[in-house]
């Protein structure tokens, strides 16, 4: 059933999933409340935190901010609760450790208003460290002419704090599992990783909504030291599960595109392994990438070769060479 929007509702709902985010939440909320476009509500979804996350949200005392508390359901579950409570025509997402540039929301609203076929508007992202300082790296993805194959191979949206989404586009992919009695799902809560790409790709395969990006690094995306090193195997397993789930929707598409997409996913995980100083994992992932398909080498030779070079430096010289390996990985973009 389409979501009905009241004439008095804010134009935009910004959803902030927050789980034990006391260290970063205040800075995140301050960046959102400082948006130049002001017709929005800010929904903080406290996903079962045991720290001061809810107290920090309450301390702002801004009438636009609503705190919604729930038992822990994971990132997808927190986003779904935010969508369920959202009143806006457009819904933005910002994780509780990321930041938005002041002009970000205004740019996305203009974009969605002028491009009625666009369901998801997103931007590039500047990568920041734990102290909110720029790392010198950025996500500068493809912005236009995006197909399901682009989403599958490279996920141009990049991270969960980059998109602002038309409510109608989200509702076009809503579903309700048999065990769910309270609300619909838009993100699949059975995924604890790869839930973003599963959602974007499902939209591209089952609707006519388009995905399009804006120029500029309007999102500031925080990367933690070590990143995903411990979860690389788990992340790949969720990615494969996403492929298995969605394949019945478009068997020919997945038969054609999966080997190349799997090569890109392994290359991405090799870069994460390099960032964490895990040479053995990086080697395994690059071997798997090249075994799946050589097309990343043809389509993105610089990024593939630098990843391979960083992997070799790390594997041969050990952790002492991590700075050289990281420099190779980060030469162009994240």
> Which of 36-40, 64-68, 127-131, 212-216 bottoms out in mean pLDDT, i.e. has the lowest?
127-131
C-alpha 210/C-alpha 190 separation (Å) is 25
Q: Are 92 and 108 in contact (CB under 8 A)?
A: yes
Q: How confident is the model at residue 15 (pLDDT cuts 50, 70, 90)?
A: very high
Query: In 3-state terms, what secondary structure has residue 15?
Result: strand
Q: Is the pLDDT of residue 319 over 80?
A: no
Distance in angstroms (rounded) separating the CA atoms of residues 171 and 185: 9
- What confidence category does residue 8 fall into, taking pLDDT thresholds of 50, 70 and 90? confident
* More confident position, 185 or 318: 185
With beta carbons less than 8 A apart as the criterion, state whether 239 and 201 touch.
no
| DSSP-derived pairing of the beta strands 118-128 and 134-139 | antiparallel
């Amino acid at each position: 059933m389409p979501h009905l929007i009241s004439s008095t509702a804010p134009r935009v709902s910004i959803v902030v999933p927050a789980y034990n985010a006391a260290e970063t939440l205040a800075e995140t909320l301050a960046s959102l409340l400082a948006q130049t476009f002001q017709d929005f509500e800010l929904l903080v979804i406290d996903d079962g935190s045991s720290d001061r996350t809810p107290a920090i949200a309450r301390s702002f005392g801004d009438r636009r901010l609503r705190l919604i508390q729930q038992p822990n359901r994971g990132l997808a579950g927190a986003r779904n609760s935010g969508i369920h409570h959202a009143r806006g025509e457009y819904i933005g997402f910002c994780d509780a450790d990321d930041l938005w540039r002041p002009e970000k929301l205004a740019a996305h609203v203009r974009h969605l208003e002028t491009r009625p076929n666009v369901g998801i508007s997103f931007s590039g992202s500047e990568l920041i460290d734990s102290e909110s300082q720029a790392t010198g790296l950025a996500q500068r993805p493809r912005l236009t002419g995006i197909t399901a194959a682009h989403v599958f191979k490279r996920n141009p949206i990049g991270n969960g704090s980059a998109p602002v989404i038309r409510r109608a586009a989200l509702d076009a992919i809503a579903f309700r599992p048999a065990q769910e009695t309270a609300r619909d799902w838009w993100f699949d809560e059975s995924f604890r990783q790869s839930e973003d790409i599963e959602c974007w790709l499902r939209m591209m395969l089952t609707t006519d909504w388009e995905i399009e990006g804006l120029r500029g690094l309007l999102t500031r995306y925080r990367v933690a030291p070590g990143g995903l090193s411990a979860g690389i195997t788990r992340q790949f397993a969720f990615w494969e599960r996403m492929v298995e789930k969605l394949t019945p929707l478009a068997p020919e598409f997945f038969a054609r595109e999966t080997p190349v997409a799997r090569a890109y996913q392994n290359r991405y995980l090799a870069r994460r392994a390099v960032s964490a100083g895990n040479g053995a994992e990086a080697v395994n992932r690059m071997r798997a990438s090249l075994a799946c398909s050589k097309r990343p080498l043809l389509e993105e030779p610089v990024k593939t070769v630098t990843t391979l070079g960083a992997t070799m430096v790390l594997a041969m010289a050990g952790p002492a060479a991590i700075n050289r390996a990281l420099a190779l990985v980060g030469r162009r973009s994240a």
